[in-house]
């Protein structure tokens, strides 16, 4: 089954049509949940990334900061994924030809990959080299900001 | 000159028109506004959560507020500058929306809350910031900040929702 077939099946499924039939207020609620999730995620990543650069809350250890923010990151990701899927499914086929939708998908995959590998490793290392810390911080923050940017662009280039 | 005439002048200006019609500039400004907001409001939320004892409760407030202040202000500068540009580009559509004025009102209230916090508690932060249980007034300021900035985000998101379509 091609991606387009999958998108068509999602959109025309009973669930897709049910969500698509909800009113404007429901859509606005989803958009807001998406923004709240984004604020939680980006602010947490920014806090840890600044610390990896040796600025911001530098009196705290990287480990302490990553532990204190991990709950916010999880909540943020859950809100983003849940609201994102509910926004996507009822209009799946309209996203298919949008370049920025696919850029966002690729950037998101890359950001998640970095988060589960380099980010996890560096925030749990006892004494990471400053070079590795900076590289991970800029990669993580850069990728997540790019995901947000690509997401904002989707609506402007349909 | 009425507010609407002022908005019309901005909207019709060469700068406003070129911003609005630019295929790239407008989405980029929107994107920067969003990222500036995530950083400024997001970092404020962490300070608020500390005031409420929900984030790094074992660290003194002083050691969270002081190092984050320049980053908060940088985030707000980006959000404010891009917000002004967005206003210039869409002024006539925005000034007819009550929700836009609610947003401005909530920003003013959030600013007053922050100013009051600085005046009442910030000047003698070293006398209380180490205590595990903070005075009630400080918690109230934290709740007010969380609520008001959330309302700013909510009303802000409703602006394009109610006007662009």
Cβ–Cβ gap B26/A156 under 8 Å: yes
For chain B, list residues whose CB is within 8 angstroms of any CB belonging to chain A: 26-27, 30-31, 34-35, 37-39, 41-43, 45-46, 55-56, 59, 63-64, 67-68, 71, 150, 153-154, 157-158, 161
Which residues, other chains included, contact A5 with Cβ-Cβ below 8 Å and sequence gap of 6+? none
Count of the separate structural domains present in chain A: 1
Distances (CA, A) of B143 to A41, B84, B137, B139, B148: 20, 28, 10, 6, 8
pLDDT classification of B164: cutoffs 50, 70, 90: low
Burial class (CB in 10 A: 0-12, 13-18, 19+), B21: exposed
Question: Which chain B residue shows the shortest CA-CA distance from A156?
Answer: B27
pLDDT tens-digit profile of B48-60?
A: 999 998 999 989 8
**Domain spans of chain B, in order of start:** 3-163
Q: To the nearest whole angstrom, how far is the Cα of A47 from the nearest Cα of chain B?
A: 8
Of A43, A152, A156, the CB nearest to B45: A43
Per the listing, tokens 């849940």 go with A82
Cβ–Cβ gap B38/A36 under 8 Å: no
Q: To the nearest whole angstrom, how far is the Cα of B151 from the nearest Cα of chain A?
A: 11
**ipTM, 2 dp:** 0.89
pLDDT tens-digit profile of A3-19?
A: 999 999 999 999 999 99
Q: To the nearest whole angstrom, how far is the Cα of A157 from the nearest Cα of chain B?
A: 9
User: Would you state the pLDDT for residue A54?
Assistant: 92
Please determine, for residue B137, whether its predicted confidence score (pLDDT) is greater than 90.
no
What is chain B's mean pLDDT, rounded? 91
pLDDT tens-digit profile of A26-80?
A: 988 999 999 999 999 999 999 999 999 999 999 999 999 999 999 999 999 999 9
């Amino acid at each position: 089954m091609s991606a387009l077939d999958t998108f068509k099946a999602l959109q025309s499924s009973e669930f897709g049509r049910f969500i698509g039939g909800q009113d404007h207020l429901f859509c606005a609620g989803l958009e807001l949940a998406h923004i709240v999730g984004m604020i939680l995620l980006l602010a947490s990543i920014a806090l840890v990334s600044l610390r990896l650069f040796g600025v911001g809350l530098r009196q705290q250890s990287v480990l302490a900061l990553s532990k204190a923010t991990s709950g916010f990151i999880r909540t943020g990701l859950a809100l983003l994924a849940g609201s994102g899927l509910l926004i996507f499914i009822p209009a799946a086929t309209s996203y298919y030809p949008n370049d920025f939708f696919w850029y966002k998908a690729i950037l998101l995959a890359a950001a998640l990959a970095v988060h589960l590998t380099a980010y996890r490793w560096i925030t749990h290392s006892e004494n990471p080299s400053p070079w590795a810390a900076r590289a991970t911080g800029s990669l993580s923050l850069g990728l997540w900001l790019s995901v947000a940017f690509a997401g904002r662009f989707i609506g402007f280039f349909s | 000159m009425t507010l609407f005439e002022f908005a019309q002048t901005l909207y019709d200006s060469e700068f406003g028109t070129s911003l609005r019609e630019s295929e790239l500039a407008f989405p980029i400004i929107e994107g920067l506004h969003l990222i500036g907001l995530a950083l400024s409001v997001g970092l404020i939320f962490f300070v608020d959560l500390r005031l409420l004892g929900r984030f790094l409760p074992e660290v003194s407030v002083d050691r969270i507020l002081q190092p984050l202040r320049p980053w908060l202000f940088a985030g707000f500068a980006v959000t404010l500058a891009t917000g002004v540009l967005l206003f210039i580009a869409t002024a006539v559509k925005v000034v007819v929306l009550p929700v836009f004025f609610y947003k401005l009102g909530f920003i003013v209230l959030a600013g007053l809350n922050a100013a009051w916090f600085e005046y009442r508690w910030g000047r003698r932060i070293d006398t209380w910031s180490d205590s595990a249980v903070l005075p009630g007034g400080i918690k109230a300021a934290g709740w007010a900040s969380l609520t008001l900035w959330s309302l700013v985000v909510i009303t802000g998101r409703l602006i394009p929702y109610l006007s662009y379509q």
